Amino acid sequence: MSSDSPRLSSRSWLESVVEALGQQLHSASQGADINQTLSESHVELLTPILSDMRVTLEGDEGTLIQHMLRSLMELCRPSAPISGFSYFTRTAAETVLYLAGSHGAVLAEFAIDAANVDLEESPGTVVNQGPTSNTYRGTYRGQPALFKEYRALESHSRQGIDVKMVAVTQTLLRTSFPGSGLVPIIGIWQPHQGFDHRTFLVEDSTPASVDLANYLLQNPGVDRLLLLKDVVEAFASLHANHLVLGPITQQSLIVAPSGRAYLSNFDYLRFGNSDTPFIPMLISLDAIRWMAPELVRPFKEERESPTLTKAGDMYSLGCLMLWLLTGRSPFAEYNQYPRHMLALITAVIEKGPAEISTGRFGLTDEMWTAIGVCCAREPTGRPSVSDILNLAFLDGLVDNRTRN
């Protein structure tokens, strides 16, 4: 990390930020339309604090930052009639405040020095080109790394989603709470500094890591229960730190050369006690079929957007168990977009995944029962992650794989 970059935490700079905030809050209280003011100045003031990560939350400076972030959270609360703030900005603010309160707390400097980065954007370096992000292979300090850049879609602007804040929140949480079964994160890199410039989330990588689906194709005889246990332990690590992951799919996992599975997608990661509503970055058949019913219900019924919970995570885990132990995605029968969209939404809300005969990939009645309780329609009917870990078919596994 570079030590030559100017720090953003001078008292005079922070005081000017808080003063600007106070002026805008005063304007809001007089009923002025401050959407444009917020989007053009206020988010620009907030973003450097969070994305450059050069702020120490202690003493007078920490008090000023926390005051500003609490005010920002109040402005962008779900019921506030202000569209200039995205809920991703609110999630990032919540994250900083929590870390300040629970750790005392000093934020590490997560901005990566460009001198340590080697990234050539070409077709040969693209690992994944998804609808909302591109991931490239490169190196950081001479070691393999993945560079993920989120793309701002037109739908993001309409929904108030700030894609840069996805990377910011992930960096804060994953660095503060590293856990087993999670792809290690390095930090945030901007080729050129500034609010409007491109931002990459940088993760540790090994050249031989592959996504889970391809790994299973290449290794048809692998013990799928060991891979499942890796994922369950990763969920347990998150939940032990009061974090929730949000919806996942089979594409959210990779397998390292050791044969161990790791969670690699953290787009919705946040604290479990957050009251920030869930807004999906992309609505597709594949995304919806893995979502808990309470997350899907607002797509069909007029109701408030839900929050993410551990119970919602357990539903996604049940869907992953179904796919891993049967080879079949949940609600796979709804596979034509857009013709099946409404039917799929209705099925997720009103039914569980279709029952599949046991036997394939070693699926037993006990395993199917575990899938069923995880995919219960009501959140209160789902087990905790420790309940699943303690089941006999996982608890008694012999694991001779090496650690990465």
What pLDDT score does 27 carry? Answer: 58
Contacts of 269 (CB under 8 A, 6+ apart): 169, 170, 173, 174, 238, 243, 244, 245, 246
Q: At residue 92, does pLDDT exceed 80? A: no
Cα–Cα distance measured from residue 148 to residue 145, given in angstroms and rounded to the nearest whole number: 10
What pLDDT score does 359 carry? Answer: 58
Q: What percent of the chain has pLDDT over 90?
A: 29
What pLDDT score does 102 carry? Answer: 55
Q: At residue 340, does pLDDT exceed 60? A: yes
pLDDT-derived band at 108, boundaries 50, 70, 90: very low
Contact 1, 112 (CB under 8 A): yes
Q: What is the pLDDT of residues 40-89, one digit of tens each?
A: 445 455 555 554 444 455 666 666 666 667 666 666 655 554 444 556 66
Cα–Cα distance measured from residue 243 to residue 352, given in angstroms and rounded to the nearest whole number: 26
What pLDDT score does 2 carry? Answer: 34
Cα–Cα distance measured from residue 78 to residue 90, given in angstroms and rounded to the nearest whole number: 9
pLDDT-derived band at 358, boundaries 50, 70, 90: low
Q: At residue 346, does pLDDT exceed 70? A: yes
Q: What is the pLDDT of residues 172-204, one digit of tens each?
A: 788 878 888 999 888 888 787 554 567 889 998
User: Which of 182-191, 210-219, 391-400 bottoms out in mean pLDDT, i.e. has the lowest?
Assistant: 182-191
CA geometry: angle 275, 278, 283, nearest 5 deg: 175
Which residues face 129 on adjacent strands?
A: 134
User: Which of 153-167, 290-304, 380-394 bottoms out in mean pLDDT, i.e. has the lowest?
Assistant: 153-167
Q: Which domains does the chain have, with CATH numbers?
A: 11-103 (no CATH), 114-204 (3.30.200.20), 210-395 (1.10.510.10)
User: Which of 36-45, 81-90, 249-258, 332-341 bottoms out in mean pLDDT, i.e. has the lowest?
Assistant: 36-45
Q: Which residue has the higher pLDDT, 313 or 179?
A: 313
Mean pLDDT value across the chain: 77
What pLDDT score does 126 carry? Answer: 82
Cα–Cα distance measured from residue 121 to residue 387, given in angstroms and rounded to the nearest whole number: 44
Instruction: Give the pLDDT mean for 309-315.
Output: 96
CA 216 from centroid of its chain's CA atoms: 24
What pLDDT score does 84 carry? Answer: 44
What is the reported pTM?
0.79
